[in-house]
Amino acid sequence: MKIIHRLLWLLLAFQVTTPWAQSSSNTQNPNQKSNLAAIGQVVSTTTVNALSASYLSSMMGGIGVYRWQLGESSNPVDARSGLAAGGEDSPWSIWATPVRSTFRNNIEPITSSGAVSLLIGGLEYRGDGPWVGGISLSVDRLSATTHNSAVTPETSGSLTGNGYTLAPYAVYQFSPTRALDLTWGGGKSHMDYISTTSTSPVDRRRLASVGFTDIHEVGQFLLMLKAGHSWTKDAVDVSTGNSETLLKQTRVGGQLMMPGDMFSPFVAYYQLFNSFTASGTGTAPVEYSTTGQSQLGLNVAAGPVFGSMVLQHEHGRQQFRVYIGYRY
């Protein structure tokens, strides 16, 4: 417990002493159009975060997923099998979960708002050891409006798109409450952008992440400590010029949940450290080099059905997410 208290005090002290926002130094050309890769990256970051939450869904405080075991197995699974079903089930399973996320980005000069809908599914294998492996497919739908205040006259546009992300993953579960997870993958989105002219951009994304989760009982609460690093790269090809963004993000913090029979409210705080670069045609977007992220959420369970709602706030950016799943 002393280690946990020291970590929480360290995070609080860092938040007080660290500037709330530091912008990256990107050169802006006021005669160029908006950098569409900045909008496409919303899908990439939403996907990589939802993937990690999905395949860690059986750990307390995570989201639920619909899961089906494939066949039966004669080999029992050991006591650490928190991510897969019991010993009489097959080590193979398939899972799926829908995710709906609305967002609003107020970071100048390129602002945007809209929604990302995901349907994530995976094929997973777990034997009698601590390793879990699988491959996931995420199908996405983006609908957003954009505004560029760096040009004269200022421009606005609408962006829609459909795409997919294919991502293998692996989890090493030290215990039912402690795990290391890794994922990597790539995908593509075909989009339509309407502003002063109409274009059909193609967004090619690559992503990777590594994370550590550690859960502790603190009286009547559950404290879930998390640390992770993600890497997302979006390259957008369009007839009027190409653009590219690369975001490397480190995330450290924790979630405190009060477990209940049906309703389990929680609060969370994470410190984000961003390394962001943008290149190619278009006004260079801006990202904060460090900022805090706070969350207020509610997990709801009624029989086998499980849901989660999360309101998330960062400086200049808000997001609301809804998950739904089925306990197995």
Residue 81: what pLDDT? 38
**Position 317 confidence tier, pLDDT thresholds 50, 70, 90:** confident
- The predicted-structure confidence for 140-193, as pLDDT tens digits, reads as follows 999 999 888 887 788 888 999 999 999 999 999 999 889 999 999 999 999 998
The CATH number given to whatever domain includes residue 171 is 2.40.128.130
- Quote the number of domains for the chain: 1
Amino acid at 2: K
**What is the percentage of the chain residues whose pLDDT exceeds 70?**
80
Q: By residue range, what is the domain housing residue 131?
A: 2-326
Nearest one of 230, 186, 191, 192 to 204, comparing CA atoms: 186
Residue 221: what pLDDT? 94
**Between 45 and 304, where is the model more confident?**
45
Lowest-confidence pick of 56-60, 212-216, 224-228: 56-60
Lowest-confidence pick of 79-93, 102-116, 119-133, 312-326: 79-93
19 pLDDT exceeds 80?
no
Lowest-confidence pick of 2-11, 77-86, 117-126, 260-269: 77-86
Nearest one of 197, 226, 189 to 209, comparing CA atoms: 226
Per-residue exposure over 9-20, b if at least 16 CB sit within 10 Å of its own CB, e if not: eebeeeeeeeee
31 pLDDT exceeds 60?
no
CA distance 255 to 11: 13
291 alpha carbon, distance to own chain's centre: 16
8 Å CB contact between 257 and 268: no
Which sign, positive or negative, has the C-alpha torsion 44, 45, 50, 51? positive
137 pLDDT exceeds 60?
yes
326 pLDDT exceeds 90?
no
Question: Going by C-beta distance under 8 Å and a sequence separation of 6 or more, which residues neighbour residue 198?
Answer: 192
Longest dimension (CA), the chain: 69
Residue 265: what pLDDT? 94
Residue 139: how many other CB atoms lie within 10 Å: 15
- The predicted-structure confidence for 7-18, as pLDDT tens digits, reads as follows 444 444 434 333
Is-above-0.95 flag for pTM? no
Listing DSSP states for 231-265 in one string gives EEEEEEE-TT--EEEEEEEEEEEEEEE---SSEEE
